[in-house]
Amino acid sequence: MRLGTRVAIVGAGPAGLALANVLQQAGIDCVVVERQSRAYVEARARAGVLEHRTVEFLNDHGLADRLLAEGARHGSCEFRHLGERFSVRYRDLTGGREHHVYPQQFLVRDLISAYLAGGGQLFFSHPAVALDGLDGDRPVLRCQPDGDAEPLELECDFVAGCDGFYGASRQAVPAGRLRAYEKQHEFGWLALLAETPPAGDEIIYALHEDGFAGHMLRTPSVTRFYLQCPVGDHPENWPDQRIWSALHRRLGMTDAELAPGPITEKNVLDMRSFVVEPMQYGRLFLAGDAAHIITPAGGKGMNLALADAEELATRLLAHYRGAGTHALDGYSAACLPRIWQAQEFSHWMLHLLHSPAAGQDDSAFLHRLQLSRLTQLRDSPAYSTMFSDSYVGSSGRPTAH
Ligand code: FAS
């Protein structure tokens, strides 16, 4: 089957779906193709912390109703170390900017519903396998659906590559046209989802000689946890009993404070940071994890993806409203400062939280640096304000072109 559209969007994650909804609302024809099934993408638990500007963007487009009704607002987070604990009240330090906690899969569900309700075309189980003619005026996206469904060809003006780190879009760019910046971090995170109520109403970051532990909220009955672990560790090395014992020890909590419950997800995260420059080639524009990967420290990944979607939508609207392609020429340059600022903050946060690997020559020195950062965060208003501004995210939004 061959279809024509204006914008072909690869990937039904936060970036692709937000872009599709904004274009649809502006009357710009687009089609979304997604490798997985609808059930799969609506069940895939990942992020859960949405920044102020992200919620503002979604709300401006009428896409935040359930998020605002069901999500929880957060304006402070707690740090723990050696029995001491203190909170950073970042809402107060940033003039009211706050986080909303709302599981990513719920947002994906809402964005799919809104797009389909608006008559949007979304092909599930249709992986993109080739993007041709990106340096011409009418590229063609080819999808090879699973099973014996008919192949799909999408002829379009532009392709939005929102298909994540392992997608087809970035791979379609000829060798040598993009430059990748990459860092593999020296520790891993065991990412957990447990059916147990959160132990309090704050995100908790616990520094411990055994390693970092994170207590991240998701819903009233499900909590996400992170445990620092060695690079290359495996979930099988972490039976539930060991997990609960490590969480209690590192967070300084008892069973009474943090009741063990069924652990429904156990993954060792590949702690890598990655940025590709530029984020565009010809008629292809990369957004979200297709262009950059960031560690979950500081909760930036999904927020960056949605910020890219807003930037790209703004520039596509300007293009179709007569601004010509120069609006799109500046897409990558507009996104990259925000992305590198988030990468820098996430890197700083990782080295605030993580115990240096034991046996490292400089581990004692690095541990003293950690303690100094923690003390400044507790005692210095300037330092905690700088942390808060980066943690809750800037308020800057794209300007119309
Ligand atoms: P996504 O990866 O979400 O979506 C890309 C979509 O493209 C997917 O649906 C995929 O199936 C599809 N696709 C791939 N190849 C395709 C092809 N060839 N054709 C068609 N479709 C294709 N971020 C945070 O901010 N906070 C967190 O706490 C956090 N925790 C995380 C925990 C885990 C376990 C993981 C894996 C990630 C976490 N992230 C977190 C980061 C994560 O949320 C991403 O930043 C976010 O999903 C990025 O959104 P997208 O760019 O839309 O990409």
Return the pLDDT at 254. 87
Q: Residues of the chain whose pLDDT is less than 70? A: 400-401
Return the pLDDT at 401. 56
- Please state, in angstroms and rounded to a whole number, the distance separating the CA atoms of residues 324 and 398: 17
Count of CB atoms situated within 10 Å of the CB of 36: 18
- End position of a domain, from candidates 250, 270, 290: 270
What's the CA-to-centroid distance between 138 and ligand 1, angstroms?
A: 27
- Please state, in angstroms and rounded to a whole number, the distance separating the CA atoms of residues 54 and 48: 12
Question: In this predicted model, what pLDDT tens digit does every residue of 196-221 receive, in sequence order?
Answer: 999 988 999 999 989 999 999 888 89
Q: What is the pTM of this model?
A: 0.93
188 lines ligand 1 (CB under 6 A): no
Distances (CA, A) of 315 to 274, 321, 334: 24, 10, 10
Indicate which CATH number applies to the domain containing 317.
3.50.50.60
- The strands making up 121-123's β-sheet, listed across from edge to edge, are 121-123, 30-33, 7-10, 158-161, 284-286, 280-281
Residues 301 and 335 in one domain: yes
Indicate which CATH number applies to the domain containing 245.
3.30.9.10
- Decide if 390 is inside a domain: no
Annotation says 296 is catalytic: yes
139 lines ligand 1 (CB under 6 A): no
58 lines ligand 1 (CB under 6 A): no
- Please state, in angstroms and rounded to a whole number, the distance separating the CA atoms of residues 18 and 9: 11
- Decide if 32 is inside a domain: yes
Please provide the size of the chain in residues.
Answer: 401
Catalytic residue among 99, 100, 300, 319: 300
What's the CA-to-centroid distance between 112 and ligand 1, angstroms?
A: 15
Residues 168 and 195 in one domain: no
For the chain, the domain total comes to 2
Residues 208 and 229 in one domain: yes
Residues 107 and 234 in one domain: no
- Decide if 318 is inside a domain: yes
Residue 211, both tokens = 């390693």
- Please state, in angstroms and rounded to a whole number, the distance separating the CA atoms of residues 241 and 307: 39
Return the pLDDT at 400. 61
Going by C-alpha positions, the residue among 77, 58, 106 that lies closest to residue 392 is: 77
Residues 230 and 282 in one domain: no
Closest ligand 1 atom to Cα of 304: 45
Residues 204 and 146 in one domain: no
Annotation says 205 is catalytic: yes
Annotation says 183 is catalytic: no
168 lines ligand 1 (CB under 6 A): yes
47 lines ligand 1 (CB under 6 A): yes
Return the pLDDT at 256. 86
Return the pLDDT at 9. 98
Domain extent at residue 135: 2-48+103-183+272-349
